[in-house]
Structure 1
Amino acid sequence: MSGREFFTARTVSEALAGFRPARRTPVRAVPLAAALHRVPAADVLAPDPLPGFVRSTVDGFAVRAADTYGASEGLPSYLDLLGAVRMGEAPAVTVAPGGCVAVPTGGVLPAGADAVVMIEYTAETMPGTIEVTRPVAPGGGLVRADEDVAAGAALAPAGRPLRAPDLGLLAAAGVTEVPVHARPRVAIVSTGDEVVPPDTAELAPGQVRDATASALAGLVTDAGGEPEVAGIVTDDPGALETKLRTVLPAADLVVVSAGSSVGTRDETADAVAALGTLWCHGLAIKPGKPTLLADCGGIPVVGLPGNPLSALVVFRLVGVPLVWRLAGCEAPPPEPSTRAVLSRNLASAAGRLDVVQVRVRDGVAEPLFGPSALLSVLAHADGYLVVPEPATGLDAGCEVEVTLYR
């Protein structure tokens, strides 16, 4: 494997389905306050049923449903008011035949009752007497003791990032710590004699500041990873291999920015081949064809194109799912999207996935074009659309799915 030509080129769908490293980050317990978007390592089970008692879902009166049968505005039922339920307390009164107990929303159902009639269908005709103008069936106006969650049921499934409602459900069940996968450590290595740190005050002719590493770090953070910008490697033979040997032991994923094309200066393929196994060198995608995927001793390595736009497009499609997978999430959370009408024709080549940046205004998707070295195209885009691999293009006026940037 010389690294000087594309080989084992794969489609993006093949890469997503086939390049699936077995590595997972370690499991550690985190407090509930720090668990948002973390991935549980196992199903989190309910220690007890929720809500744990039969409770009212309405403001009204706890009754025996049979005492309301046949009630109507013309022929109401009359019940004796026996007392009231206080919030946060067990009822001190029992509902006897022909009686009722006032109960607020969320209150405990008193013994003897099997339903709650809404206050809107009642009236106190005289002190201590409640008029009911609509019947209620057994179980009406109630939730069972285990209706929210049964004891032993999964409060949150393994492998799915925790959302805000999940945290609420866990808190309701008294779960204050969650065993989750650690955030994947992603080492980002930049390459190129022309690349200099972003804090370089003045650029010499031919130099460029390292913009890609900062953007990649943002994508890693969005995916729940911990980025480590590992510095810039020159194009000297052997320099990248030495750098990889340094960063691989402490990383869950290594991303090499630039150096995966077919030019004589590109060293990624040779360096990775010396340390592991190349899975593919070249993806059928535009932009981003010169992409490398490899495994180095169980650590996945992604070699990205040198052009910033290409690098970020590919990493969003292929690298971000890898970060989630390392954290135990098999299906990354879906990104927001919208439907829009395409403003112009888009040409494409069959067998290649085309990713087109777009601006969306008033339901119209306007493609944005520019060289893949220009980050401004991405910065000005609201999202992107995909021309599928089998298609030879999209026609103006067709409806497209636009994945939106958050």
Structure 2
Amino acid sequence: MTGGPRLAGREFFATRTVGEALAGFRPARRTAVEEVPLAEALHRVPGAAVPAPGPLPGFARSTVDGYAVRAADTYGASEGLPSYLDLLGAVRMGAAPEVAVRPGGAVAMPTGGVLPEGADAVVMVEHTAETMPGTIEVTRPVAPGSGVVRADEDVAVGAPLVPGGRPLRAPDLGMLAAGGVTRVAVHARPRVVVLSTGDEVVPPETAALGPGQVRDATASALAGLVRDAGGEPVLAGIVSDEPGALEARLREVLPDADLVVVSAGSSVGARDETAGAVAALGDIWCHGLAIKPGKPTLLAECAGVPLIGLPGNPLSALVVFRLVGVPLVWRLAGCEAPPPEPSTRARLARDLPSAAGRLDVVQVAVRDGRAEPIFGPSALLSVLTRADGCIVVPEPATGLDAGTEVEVTLYR
């Protein structure tokens, strides 16, 4: 990553768009690869594709209940002129066939049974009838390969069971288990150190607040977003506004962090120490995003560790971290294309004004296909807790009209 200009006095404020941040702020850091049991691998990101040690399913098998046949013996069969075949035996589940299919013969098959030698198709039982003991009639023709899965049709030997660089999903775990892979090499969960700042901020367990004090709500919410993105949150406490305190604390936490998040302290002002502390330790990529809420956001890299300085208001901090921080956590864990969040389409319930040149993120409640905007000061977490999701008004737009169809990113 190419660093931006270093801090040059208190007026430093280099603003980037959110799109520029997502495309340009791409630290090279990735977490190490570790081996974990399959039961612990859900949503983890493999360090590389996992090759199949053998073909899957490993043998040609039936996909239907019916009869294994030579397809040529069924050509021309119909309800009015069925093909008659000799019943030669049956295949048992979990066992090798004890009989082969010869011309003019058929073998009874269960779904999943091993295809006997000589057969190249399975006719569904619904298209057959046993007219007399030892004889079946076939009333519909089948082509070679019908009702059959090849021995390597699921996965060929050496082909990837699962790809690298993508979080493992439940079906991926099933594929690994089918291939006999019970341990998988995945990226370690990124350690995301969250530092809160401000003399007014006190721990959540504080029973009685003094004048001007607020409990640290943002750190707990950020920890939840980090866990959702597959990271390991480390709540590193509250740093005072005393000059030099934040720089000293950053020096302490950086060696064991994959990402540092500084909650509050990124606004331009005499009290705010984040930009100065970060400039002393690394390169600032930007100090300001063209977004509402969340403009005073800082992105930097210190000793190879990415750092995000968030606005002090909880709503702003969480909106920015969801847009910029969550993809970064996934990237640190080896996932270059973060999994998409659930979304739905809805129509705006009212006009939505916006200013051109910035990205507006608006919280909405979704009811009966209508998206109702929820407004409130950035200091109010209730705006987020009442929302079902958010919509994004792009930078060029000057607003959206009521009735406009919008995509709502849903909160899980």
Common fold, TM-score beyond 0.5? yes
Show the counterpart of 1:395: 401
Q: Give the structure 2 partner of residue 106 of structure 1.
A: 112
**Alpha-carbon distance, 1:207 to partner:** 0.3
Q: CA deviation digits over 1:249-307, x for unaligned, max 9?
A: 00000000000001210000000000001010000000000000000010001000000
Q: Deviations over 1:87-137 (max 9, x none)?
A: 000101011111110010010000011111110011111111111111111
Structure 2 stretches of 5 or more lacking a match?
A: 1-6
- Post-superposition Cα deviations, 1:343-374, rounded to whole Å, max 9, x if no partner, equal 11111111100000000000000000000000
CA distance in 2, matches of 1:249, 1:35: 26
Matched, 1:48 2:54: yes
Q: Contact 1:286–1:354 at 8 Å: present in 2 too? A: yes
CA positional deviation for 1:4:
2.4
Tell me the residue number matched to 1:85.
91
Of the structure 1 ranges 133-142 and 310-319, higher mean CA displacement relative to structure 2 is found in: 133-142
How big is the shift at 1:6? Answer: 4.6
Q: Does 1:8 align with 2:3?
A: no
The superposition leaves residues 52-103 of structure 1 with CA deviations (integer Å, 9 ceiling, x where unpaired) of 1110111000011111111111111111111000000010101111111001
What is the rounded CA distance, in whole Å, between the counterparts of 2:350 and 2:356 in structure 1? 19
Matches within 5 A, 1:157-306: 157-306=163-312
1:36 matched to 2:42? The reply is: yes
Matched, 1:363 2:375: no
Aligned partner of residue 248 in structure 2, secondary structure? helix
Unpaired stretches in structure 1, ≥5 consecutive residues: none
CA distance in 2 between partners of 1:165 and 1:339 (Å): 27
**How many residues matched?**
406
CA deviation after TM superposition for structure 1 residue 164, in Å:
0.4
Does structure 2 retain, via aligned residues, the 8 Å contact 1:89–1:108?
Answer: yes
Q: Secondary structure at the match of 1:13?
A: helix
Q: Give TM-score scaled by structure 2 length.
A: 0.98
Of 359-368 and 73-82, the range deviating more from structure 2: 73-82
Question: SS where residue 164 of structure 2 aligns?
Answer: coil
- Following TM superposition, by how much is the alpha carbon of 1:8 offset from its aligned partner in structure 2, in angstroms? 1.9
Give the letter aligned to residue 102 of structure 1. Answer: A
**Counterparts of 2:117 and 2:12, CA distance in 1:** 76
1-structure distance, mates of 2:126, 2:49: 42
Give the corresponding residue for 2:157.
151
Counterpart secondary structure, 1:341: strand
Q: Name which of 122, 125, 129 aligns with 1:123.
A: 129
Tell me the SS of whatever aligns to 1:175: coil
Partner residue of 1:139? 145
Deviation digits for residues 120-168 of structure 1, max 9, x if unmatched?
A: 0111111111111111111111011111111111111111000001111
d(CA) in 2 for partners of 1:126, 1:283 = 80
Q: Secondary structure at the match of 1:28?
A: strand
Q: Structure 2 counterpart of 1:75, which letter? A: L
Deviation at 1:7, TM superposition (A): 2.1
Q: Deviations over 1:291-331 (max 9, x none)?
A: 00000010001000000000000000000011000000011
Structure 2 CA distance, aligned partners of 1:5 and 1:397?
42
1:29 and 1:178 in contact (8 A); partners too = yes
Structure-1 separation of matches of 2:64 and 2:392: 49
In the other structure, the counterpart of 1:319 is 325
CA contact (8 A) 1:3 1:262 kept: no
Once residues 326 and 391 of structure 1 are traced to their aligned partners in structure 2, the CA distance between those partners, rounded to angstroms, is 32
Q: Distance in 2 between matches of 1:35 and 1:325?
A: 17
Query: For 1:256, what is the secondary structure of its paired residue?
Result: strand
SS at match of 1:218: helix
Deviation at 1:3, TM superposition (A): 5.5
**Residues of 1 paired with 2:63 and 2:174: CA distance?**
19
Using a 3 Å threshold, how does the CA distance of structure 1 residues 347 and 83 change in structure 2: closer, same or farther? same
Letter in 2 for 1:174: G
Paired residues of 1:3 and 1:269 also in contact (CA < 8 A): no
| Alignment check: 8 A CA contact 1:6 1:282 kept | no
Query: 1:384 — aligned with what?
Result: 390
- Determine helix, strand or coil for the equivalent of 2:345: strand
Q: One-letter code of the match for 2:270?
A: T
Match of residue 82 from structure 2: 76
2:344 to 332, 338, 346: 338
- Letter of the structure 1 residue corresponding to residue 35 of structure 2: A
The code of the aligned residue for 1:189 comes to L
- 1:328 aligned partner: 334
